Amino acid sequence: MALRQHRLPRFWLGITLGLVATAVGVAYWWEQQLPKRLEASSARGDLDACLRYSEQLQALRWLGGGAPGEQGQCRRRKAGQLWDQEKWGEALRLQLQLVNSEAGTTEDRQQLDAWQQDLKNRALARFNAGDLEGSLALLEPMGEHRRPDRRALGNRLQEIWTRNQQLLDRAQRLSAEKRWWEALEALNRIDHPWWKQQGEGVKAEVQAGISSLRGQERERDGHGSLPHTVPVDQLDQEVQRRLASGMDEWAAFQGACAALGGKVVEAGPETGCQR
């Protein structure tokens, strides 16, 4: 007697193949519907729906469909909307997707570059106004806030900030020790506008300290024991003449020293005018 074949595996195989065919059919049908829905959402200005449909269409392109021009247009318009709302990171991300897509144009790349440059300018403005953290936050969407190789714009801004902060700290310490010329040198090396403003009080104190010095006291004002080999009285006269013309103190000292044939010499924390 012939053995009866078990038909259950064939039954489940048929169901499985049927489900797969149904899923493929539904996906294909939906892929055919998406361009119309995409066009409709774009026409009525529903950019969120337009982007949602375009992403679905992009995912179904393996079925042979193509993304229409509305996909790029929706990304373009939505990116502009996000930028106007100051959602910098989202705008840049969407614009970059547009640039890397088939719908991207040269103008889209130029817009991306312009937005990135605008963010850098905004970051520099905040940095110069004394808002380091706000500046770095603006650079973060571009990955320019910091890098391991320390070549990002944010790394350079952090270095400038730290250096200026240290110079002001040094000037305050030297001023407290009445080492006026050295304090002035530190203040004159500050090149950040906000830190310059923070140092105005110390600079006024240093200027008053320098003005109070006379003769030999100028020689020993805090430059330590390093002597001046140019005549101190002549050096003082040259410094005062330059100060009267509006020159700042350190530049006046350097100019006076050079006018008398001397050279500013530094030995550690000590400074003198020597021939």
* Residue 140 lies in domain: 47-53+69-145
Asked if residue 19 is part of any domain, the answer here is no
Of 93, 127, 145, which residue sits at a domain end? Answer: 145
User: To 5 degrees, how large is the angle CA 115–CA 121–CA 126?
Assistant: 125
> What's the confidence (pLDDT) of residue 227?
55
For the chain, the distance separating the N- and C-terminal CA atoms, rounded to the nearest angstrom, is 125
> What's the confidence (pLDDT) of residue 31?
46
Asked if residue 255 is part of any domain, the answer here is yes
Residue 4: both structure tokens together: 């009866």
Q: Is 130 exposed, middle or buried (0-12, 13-18, 19+ CB in 10 A)?
A: middle
Asked if residue 103 is part of any domain, the answer here is yes
Of 112, 129, 145, which residue sits at a domain end? Answer: 145
Residue 256: both structure tokens together: 């006076």
The DSSP result for 4-40, as a single string, is PPP-HHHHHHHHHHHHHHHHHHHHHHHHHHHHHHHHH
At residue 270, the 3 state secondary structure works out as strand
H-type alpha helices, 60-87:
69-84
Beta bridge partners of 270: 267
Asked if residue 93 is part of any domain, the answer here is yes
Handedness of CA 38, 41, 43, 45 (dihedral sign): negative
pTM for the predicted model, two decimal places: 0.63
Decide: 155 and 143 in contact? Cβ < 8 Å. Answer: no
Residue 67: both structure tokens together: 């993304």
At residue 146, the 3 state secondary structure works out as coil
Q: Which amino acid is at 125?
A: A
Best CA proximity match to 168, nearest among 201, 119, 129, 210: 201
pLDDT by 10s per residue, the chain, length 275: 444 555 556 545 455 544 444 444 444 444 455 555 555 555 555 556 666 656 666 655 543 344 556 677 778 888 998 999 999 999 998 899 889 888 889 999 999 999 999 999 999 999 999 999 999 999 999 999 888 988 899 999 999 999 999 999 999 999 999 988 889 888 988 989 999 999 999 999 998 988 887 554 554 444 444 555 677 778 878 887 887 777 777 788 888 888 888 888 765 445 678 87
Decide: 220 and 228 in contact? Cβ < 8 Å. Answer: no
Asked if residue 121 is part of any domain, the answer here is yes
Best CA proximity match to 260, nearest among 225, 236, 226, 244: 236
Instruction: Compute CA 2 distance to the chain's CA centroid, rounded to the nearest angstrom.
Output: 83
CB atoms within 10 A of CB 61: 11
Best CA proximity match to 75, nearest among 65, 116, 57, 119: 57
Asked if residue 102 is part of any domain, the answer here is yes
> What's the confidence (pLDDT) of residue 63?
38
Of 96, 130, 145, which residue sits at a domain end? Answer: 145
Asked if residue 204 is part of any domain, the answer here is no
> What's the confidence (pLDDT) of residue 171?
94
- Rg (alpha carbons) of the chain, rounded to whole number: 36
Residue 94: both structure tokens together: 């969407």
Decide: 228 and 239 in contact? Cβ < 8 Å. Answer: no
Q: Domain total for the chain?
A: 2
Asked if residue 154 is part of any domain, the answer here is no
Rounded CA gap, 51 and 66, in Å?
Answer: 15
Q: Spell 149-167 as b/e; 16+ CB within 10 A means b.
A: eeebbbbebbeebeebeeb
